[in-house]
Structure 1
Amino acid sequence: MTSAAASNAHDTLQSFMAASRSVLDQFGKTVASGTPMPGTGWPGNLAEPFVQMTALQQAYLEQVGRMWTDALHHTVDTWNAAVTPAPTDRRFKAPGWNDSYYHLIKQAYLSSAKYLHDFVETAQVDEKTRIRLRFYARQYTDAMSPSNFPATNPEVIARAIETRCESLTTGLNNLIEDVAKGRISMTDEAAFEVGVNLAVTPGAVVFENEIFQLIHYRPRTEEVEATPLLVVPPCINKFYVLDLGPDNSFVRYALDQGQAVFLMSWRNPGPDQDRLSWDDYIEEGVIRALDVVRAVAGARRTHALGFCVGGTLLGCTAAVLAGRGRDDLASLTLLTTMLDFADTGDIGIMVDEAYVSSREMLIGRGGLLAGKELAFIFSTLRANDLIWNYVVNNYLKGATPDAFDLLYWNADAVNLPGPMYCWYVRHAYLENAIREPGRTVQAGTPVDLSRISVPVYLLAAREDHIVPWRTAYGTTGLVGGPVRFVLAASGHIAGVINPASRNRRSHWLNAERPADPEAWLATAEETRGSWWPDWAAWIGNLSSGRVPAPRELGGAGFGPIEPAPGRYVRVNAD
Structure 2
Amino acid sequence: MLDTAFRAAISQVTSGLSPAALMQHYAEWALHMATSPGKQAQLGHMAFENWADFTRYLTRCALSRDGGACEEPDARDRRFRHEGWKHQPFNAYQQAFLLTQKWWDEATTGVRGVSRADERVVNFTARQILDAMAPSNFVATNPEILQRTWETGGANLIAGARNFQEDLQRALLQEKEPLSEEYRVGASVAVTPGKVVFRNHLIELIRYEPVTGTVQPEPVLIVPAWIMKYYILDLSPENSMVKYLTEQGFTVFMISWRNPGAEDADYGMEEYLEQGPMAALDEVQRRTGAARVHAVGYCLGGTLMSIAAAAMARDGDDRLASMTLLAAQMDFTEAGELTLFINESEVSFLEDMMWKNGYLDAAQMAGAFQLLRSNDLIWSRLQHEYLMGDQPQQNDMMAWNADTTRMPYRMHSEYLRQLFLENAFAAGKFLVGGHPVTPRDIQVPIFAVGTEADHVAPWKSAYKTGSLTRSEVTFALTNGGHNAGVVSEPGHHHRHFRLGRIVSNNHHIPAGEWAETAAEHEGSWWLAWVDWLKAHQTGTPIPPPAMGKVICDAPGTYVLMR
How far is the alpha carbon of 1:119 from its aligned partner?
A: 2.2
How far is the alpha carbon of 1:232 from its aligned partner?
A: 0.5
Match of 1:281 in 2: 272
Match of 1:472 in 2: 462
How far is the alpha carbon of 1:86 from its aligned partner?
A: 2.0
How far is the alpha carbon of 1:88 from its aligned partner?
A: 2.5
Deviates more, 1:202-211 or 1:405-414: 405-414
Asked if structure 2 preserves the Cα contact closer than 8 Å seen for 1:283 and 1:443, the reply is: no
Q: Who wins on radius of gyration, i.e. which is larger? A: 1
Asked if structure 2 preserves the Cα contact closer than 8 Å seen for 1:365 and 1:418, the reply is: no
Find the residue that maps to 1:548 and give its secondary structure. coil
Asked if structure 2 preserves the Cα contact closer than 8 Å seen for 1:213 and 1:264, the reply is: yes
Match of 1:385 in 2: 376
Match of 1:25 in 2: none
AA at the equivalent of 1:451 = D
Match of 1:265 in 2: 256
Q: Deviations over 1:434-474 (max 9, x none)?
A: 1012x121243321221111111111112211111111111
For the pair 1:92 / 2:76, whether they are aligned, the reply is no
Match of 1:235 in 2: 226
Match of 2:96 in 1: 108
Correspondences of 1:533-544 after superposition (within 5 Å): 533-544=527-538
Q: Deviations over 1:220-250 (max 9, x none)?
A: 1111122111000111111111111111111
Q: 1:569 aligns with which of 532, 536, 559?
A: 559
Distance 1:192 1:511 in 2: 38
Match of 2:542 in 1: 547
Distance 1:332 1:44 in 2: 52
Distance 1:218 1:538 in 2: 22
Q: Deviations over 1:405-426 (max 9, x none)?
A: 1122122211000100010011
Find the residue that maps to 1:457 and give its secondary structure. strand
Match of 1:27 in 2: none
Distance 2:291 2:127 in 1: 51
| Equivalent residues, number | 524
Match of 1:446 in 2: 436
Asked if structure 2 preserves the Cα contact closer than 8 Å seen for 1:227 and 1:299, the reply is: yes
How far is the alpha carbon of 1:155 from its aligned partner?
A: 2.0
How far is the alpha carbon of 1:184 from its aligned partner?
A: 12
Find the residue that maps to 2:40 and give its secondary structure. helix
Asked if structure 1 preserves the Cα contact closer than 8 Å seen for 2:33 and 2:40, the reply is: no
How far is the alpha carbon of 1:389 from its aligned partner?
A: 1.0
Q: 2:54 aligns with which of 48, 58, 64?
A: 64
Q: Measured at CA, do residues 98 and 450 of structure 1 come closer, stay the same or move farther in structure 2, by a change above 3 Å? A: same
How far is the alpha carbon of 1:365 from its aligned partner?
A: 11
Match of 1:436 in 2: 427
Distance 1:188 1:170 in 2: 21
Q: Deviations over 1:112-161 (max 9, x none)?
A: 11221222333332222222123212211211111111222222222222
Find the residue that maps to 2:370 and give its secondary structure. helix
Match of 2:129 in 1: 140
AA at the equivalent of 1:532 = W
Q: Measured at CA, do residues 310 and 80 of structure 1 come closer, stay the same or move farther in structure 2, by a change above 3 Å? A: same
Asked if structure 2 preserves the Cα contact closer than 8 Å seen for 1:171 and 1:396, the reply is: yes
How far is the alpha carbon of 1:96 from its aligned partner?
A: 2.4
For the pair 1:129 / 2:124, whether they are aligned, the reply is no
Find the residue that maps to 2:215 and give its secondary structure. strand
Match of 1:12 in 2: none
Correspondences of 1:24-423 after superposition (within 5 Å): 46=36, 48-71=38-61, 73-75=62-64, 77-124=65-112, 125-182=114-171, 189-361=180-352, 363=354, 367-423=358-414
Distance 1:221 1:134 in 2: 54
Deviates more, 1:182-191 or 1:87-96: 182-191
Find the residue that maps to 2:381 and give its secondary structure. helix
Q: Measured at CA, do residues 187 and 393 of structure 1 come closer, stay the same or move farther in structure 2, by a change above 3 Å? A: farther
How far is the alpha carbon of 1:109 from its aligned partner?
A: 1.3
Asked if structure 1 preserves the Cα contact closer than 8 Å seen for 2:466 and 2:502, the reply is: no
AA at the equivalent of 1:112 = T
Q: Measured at CA, do residues 442 and 389 of structure 1 come closer, stay the same or move farther in structure 2, by a change above 3 Å? A: same
How far is the alpha carbon of 1:300 from its aligned partner?
A: 1.8
* TM-score, normalization by structure 2: 0.88
Match of 2:520 in 1: 526
Find the residue that maps to 1:225 and give its secondary structure. coil
RMSD (CA atoms): 2.4
Distance 2:492 2:193 in 1: 23
Distance 1:571 1:309 in 2: 20
Asked if structure 2 preserves the Cα contact closer than 8 Å seen for 1:187 and 1:408, the reply is: no
AA at the equivalent of 1:232 = V
Match of 2:13 in 1: none
Distance 1:395 1:373 in 2: 22
Find the residue that maps to 2:521 and give its secondary structure. strand
Q: Measured at CA, do residues 140 and 362 of structure 1 come closer, stay the same or move farther in structure 2, by a change above 3 Å? A: closer
Asked if structure 2 preserves the Cα contact closer than 8 Å seen for 1:277 and 1:419, the reply is: yes
How far is the alpha carbon of 1:47 from its aligned partner?
A: 5.2
How far is the alpha carbon of 1:199 from its aligned partner?
A: 0.8
How far is the alpha carbon of 1:297 from its aligned partner?
A: 1.0
How far is the alpha carbon of 1:481 from its aligned partner?
A: 2.2
Find the residue that maps to 1:289 and give its secondary structure. helix
Distance 1:129 1:170 in 2: 42
Find the residue that maps to 1:547 and give its secondary structure. coil
Find the residue that maps to 2:464 and give its secondary structure. helix
Q: Deviations over 1:240-282 (max 9, x none)?
A: 1111111111111111111100000111111222221111000
Distance 1:42 1:206 in 2: 61
AA at the equivalent of 2:101 = A
Q: Deviations over 1:334-366 (max 9, x none)?
A: 011110111111110021110112334554798
AA at the equivalent of 1:78 = D
Distance 1:214 1:245 in 2: 20
AA at the equivalent of 2:536 = L
* Gaps in structure 1 of 5+ consecutive residues: 1-40
Distance 2:365 2:88 in 1: 41
Distance 2:34 2:251 in 1: 70
How far is the alpha carbon of 1:503 from its aligned partner?
A: 5.8
Asked if structure 2 preserves the Cα contact closer than 8 Å seen for 1:186 and 1:408, the reply is: no
* TM-score, normalization by structure 1: 0.87
For the pair 1:494 / 2:484, whether they are aligned, the reply is yes
Distance 2:221 2:101 in 1: 47
Match of 1:3 in 2: none
Distance 1:407 1:43 in 2: 43
Distance 2:432 2:346 in 1: 23
How far is the alpha carbon of 1:43 from its aligned partner?
A: 13
Distance 1:126 1:461 in 2: 28
Asked if structure 2 preserves the Cα contact closer than 8 Å seen for 1:275 and 1:366, the reply is: no
Deviates more, 1:361-370 or 1:498-507: 361-370
Distance 1:531 1:503 in 2: 13
**Percentage identity across paired residues of the two chains:** 36
Distance 1:338 1:512 in 2: 15
Distance 2:123 2:445 in 1: 38
Deviates more, 1:508-517 or 1:176-185: 176-185
Distance 1:274 1:235 in 2: 14
Q: 1:511 aligns with which of 490, 501, 505?
A: 501
Q: Measured at CA, do residues 453 and 59 of structure 1 come closer, stay the same or move farther in structure 2, by a change above 3 Å? A: same
Asked if structure 2 preserves the Cα contact closer than 8 Å seen for 1:375 and 1:411, the reply is: no
AA at the equivalent of 1:564 = A
AA at the equivalent of 2:514 = W
